Amino acid sequence: MTIGDLTGQLQDFSAWKQQQLQTMEQLENWLKQEGLYTSQVQRALTHATLTLHRDHITVAVVGEFSRGKTELINALFFSDHNFRLLPTDAGRTTMCPTEIFQDTSEPPCLRLLPIETRLEETSLAELQEKDSIWEHFPLDLDDSDQLHEALLKIREQKLVPREVAASMGLSEVSEIADELESMVSVPAWRLARLNYRHPLLSQGLHILDTPGLNAVSSEPELTYEMLPSAQARLFVVGADTGITQSDMEMWQQLIRQPGVRQRLSVMVVLNKADTLWDELRTEVEIQQTIQRQCQEVAEILNID
Ligand SMILES: Nc1nc2c(ncn2[C@@H]2O[C@H](COP(=O)(O)OP(=O)(O)OP(=O)(O)O)[C@@H](O)[C@H]2O)c(=O)[nH]1
Ligand SMILES: [Mg+2]
């Protein structure tokens, strides 16, 4: 599938939504004319209209850390920028799941949910509605320095006592973090929501960038709700590493989850193919290596 195909499908989706909204408006007018527009009908129509407005298509990008998930999003969707929109780097970079979408009812902004909310019983769905809990950073899309600076927050970490990290359910993450006596490093944010402007986002596309390691699986609602309900999931592996044991664990835990209906929406991306280039090898040899890597990955993951 190309970005062109995706654009076409999103346009169809957007057109379908518009058509449904028009039909509902006509139905509302007709019901009013006929004197059938009761408060119950009004509630049902308002609910249906809101649901349609909110309906979107989510593409989630999943994989081990440093496989190039975020760079792939930058390259696929934001390559017209003269800078990296989302921060990428060697090692662990994206510290929290990041949802990118367009909501024109408010100016572009970055909203961050503090990691401390993990100490509460409140569900993510409930926290989504509590605006005051989120840190809010307005974005100036014409100021690339401000934009870049603000988005660096996605990679922020903080030091907390080891027991606090454990209470947050982050003991696995904290084990590999800096050990400063009893303090450990944890992601500063639990979830990032980036309200941005882009033609594909305006058609109803949501992109979900996820952190590598077990940071994703330590967020049960993400693992069991957001990822399975995404219409497409891109599983990113590195051509330089092939499928490692931790890639395999993520594949089984997050993509091939037992009980989740497997759809045709999982795509595996063999990223970092450029690392196979070597001056001492011919173009044909390199292409053969890429081909072999693709076949091996497909066999190991048991996909076509
Ligand atoms: N050579 C090469 N480097 C790449 C490619 N894609 C990403 N990188 C580099 O690999 C490093 C990791 O990329 P990220 O996009 O941050 O990786 P990630 O999978 O998002 O990692 P986490 O956010 O930690 O889960 C960065 O230094 C990127 O510039 C690629 O296709 N080729
Ligand atoms: Mg990343």
DSSP 91-112: SS---S-EEEE--TTS-SEEEE
Over range 47-76, report the average pLDDT.
91
Q: Measured between alpha carbons, how far is 288 from 276 in angstroms, rounded to an integer?
A: 11
Radius of gyration of the chain (CA): 22
Which ligand 1 atom is nearest residue 73's CA?
Answer: 15
**pLDDT tens digits along 97-128:** 999 999 999 999 999 999 999 998 888 888 98
Task: Tell me the domain boundaries of the chain.
Answer: 1-55, 56-156+190-301
Over range 48-64, report the average pLDDT.
89
- State in Å: Cα 216 to ligand 2 middle: 12
Q: Which residues have a Cβ under 8 Å from the Cβ of 300 and sit 6 or more positions away?
A: 243, 248
Q: Which residues surround ligand 2, an ion (CB under 5 A)?
A: 69-70, 93-94
Q: Measured between alpha carbons, how far is 138 from 110 in angstroms, rounded to an integer?
A: 6
Please state which CATH class domain 56-156+190-301 belongs to: alpha beta
Give the residue, by CA position, lying nearest to ligand 1 atom 9: 68
Mean pLDDT of the chain: 87
Spatial strand order of the sheet with 157-161 comes to: 157-161, 183-187, 179-180
Does 70 contact ligand 1 (Cβ within 6 A)?
A: yes
